[in-house]
């Protein structure tokens, strides 16, 4: 077996691993990045619908979930959205703000991967995709073995991501390494993922697949004003993905179907007229959903035929539509993994394991989960950069 000595071995050639390699290599450290996938940066390439929502200008600790909510502060302050945008601009990647601070490439997400690879080459960091059967051990140094090669290094960085997007090759390798070195891993579950309907709600709403509308969704003490999308199995869209991170089994979702609309006033204005309820609702909601809502909750007829009590019921039902989900869709479609390597095991300043000198964890493998909208990629850049300053 061929043995190669490096200063730093990074396992995982995703956003966090590549950023760590760039920073560590830039300090003059000899770096190799190993990945089991055959191509570098697969998850980056599909992010943002192929346009890469590479950061959010509003990224702050309040947009992240963790058992230790302040853990991410240090890294986010060390490498900010402005810092990453400066890299993007310097490499001529045209970009735009879609909404709410969400920054996207005007062209392909592959441009971000190409930029990172170019920066790795400049930092003389070696990238080795297609590594199978990676094994880790430690004596005085870390030994990382893979298919006839053994890399020896004083620093080992785990940047293997979580269990989300399994079709891209996600595994629990990073959690296995943490446990191998006696580090705690908090409970794992899919996040930023659609909801599944209960059987009875599939019968009620299954025909609405493809219908979407703007709404405010409340759950777990949080609310998000974004779009909602019906699927053949449940509810998706940005608002639902956002609240999925805060949902717990048994929780209901409370949905304001008419956010910012004075529907009580509109009902009173039209209450003496002959316009049907479904017709009026179709001015504010997709017709298919308006008809279905009336079928389920208040049969449509001319508004002049409704009592004041019924008009009040209509208003409450539209501003507080209640759904009890059966559960969440799994890791196959989840954008991120909730939970991970316990941040109490690490230094927030360096991301090094307190009990295992030279061992670092960065990115999604940690118990740090961002909201939808570029926050998770920013955590990858920030945590990778931070560990790269010390590894």
* pLDDT at residue 273 greater than cutoff 90: no
Of the CATH numbers 1.20.1560.10, 2.40.10.220, 2.40.30.10, 3.20.20.120, which one belongs to the domain with range 195-328?
2.40.30.10
At 137-162, the pLDDT tens digits run 999 999 999 988 999 999 999 999 99
Which residue shows structure tokens 């501003």? 319
Dist CA 85 CA 3 (whole Å): 38
Contacts of residue 199, Cβ cutoff 8 Å, sequence gap at least 6: 326
Dist CA 78 CA 62 (whole Å): 16
Query: Where exactly are the structural domains of the chain?
Result: 2-189+333-388, 195-328
At 202-225, the pLDDT tens digits run 999 999 999 999 999 999 899 999
Count CA atoms closer than 13 A to 250's CA, side-chain side: 0
At 75-104, the pLDDT tens digits run 999 999 999 999 999 999 999 999 989 999
Q: Percentage of the chain with pLDDT > 70?
A: 100
- Regarding the domain delimited by 2-189+333-388, which CATH topology (the fold level of the hierarchy) does it fall under? FAD/NAD(P)-binding domain (3.50.50)
Count CA atoms closer than 13 A to 134's CA, side-chain side: 26
Tokens of 50: 């192929």
**Burial environment of residue 133 by CB neighbours within 10 A (0 to 12, 13 to 18, 19 or more):** exposed
pTM of the predicted model as reported, rounded to 2 decimal places: 0.94
**Over residues 351-378, mean pLDDT:** 98
**Burial environment of residue 58 by CB neighbours within 10 A (0 to 12, 13 to 18, 19 or more):** middle
């Amino acid at each position: 077996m061929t043995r190669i000595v490096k200063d730093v071995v990074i396992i995982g050639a995703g956003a966090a691993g590549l950023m760590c390699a760039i920073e560590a290599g830039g300090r003059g450290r000899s770096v190799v990045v190993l990945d089991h996938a055959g191509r570098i940066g697969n998850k980056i390439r599909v992010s943002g619908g192929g346009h890469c929502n590479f950061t959010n200008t509003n990224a702050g600790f309040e947009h992240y979930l963790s058992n230790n909510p302040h853990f991410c502060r240090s890294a986010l302050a060390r490498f900010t959205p402005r810092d990453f945008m400066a890299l993007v601009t310097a490499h001529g990647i045209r970009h735009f703000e879609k909404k709410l601070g969400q920054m996207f490439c005007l062209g392909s997400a592959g441009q971000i991967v190409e930029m990172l690879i170019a920066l790795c080459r400049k930092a003389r960091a070696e990238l080795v995709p297609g590594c199978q059967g990676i094994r880790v051990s430690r004596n005085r140094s870390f030994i990382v073995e893979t298919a006839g090669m053994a890399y020896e290094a004083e620093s080992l960085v785990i940047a293997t991501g979580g269990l989300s997007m399994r079709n891209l090759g996600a595994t629990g390798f990073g959690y296995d390494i943490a446990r191998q070195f006696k580090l705690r891993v908090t409970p794992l579950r899919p996040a930023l993922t659609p909801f599944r309907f209960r059987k009875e709600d599939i019968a009620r709403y299954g025909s609405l697949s493809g219908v979407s509308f703007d709404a405010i969704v409340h759950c777990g003490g949080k609310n998000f004003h974004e779009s909602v999308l019906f699927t053949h199995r449940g509810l998706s869209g940005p608002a639902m993905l956002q609240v999925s991170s805060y949902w717990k089994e048994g929780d209901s979702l409370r949905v304001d179907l008419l956010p910012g609309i004075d529907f009580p006033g509109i009902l009173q204005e039209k209450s003496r007229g002959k316009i049907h309820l479904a017709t009026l609702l179709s001015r504010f909601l997709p017709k298919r959903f308006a008809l279905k809502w009336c079928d389920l909750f208040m049969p449509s007829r001319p508004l002049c035929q409704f009592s004041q009590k019924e008009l009040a019921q209509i208003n409450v039902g539209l501003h507080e539509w209640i759904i009890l989900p059966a559960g969440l869709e799994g890791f196959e479609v989840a954008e991120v993994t909730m939970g991970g390597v316990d941040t109490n095991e690490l230094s927030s300043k360096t991301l090094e394991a307190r009990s295992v000198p030279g061992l670092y964890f960065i990115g999604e493998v940690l118990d740090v989960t961002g909201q939808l909208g570029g926050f998770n990629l920013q955590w990858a850049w920030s945590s990778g950069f931070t560990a790269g300053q010390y590894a």
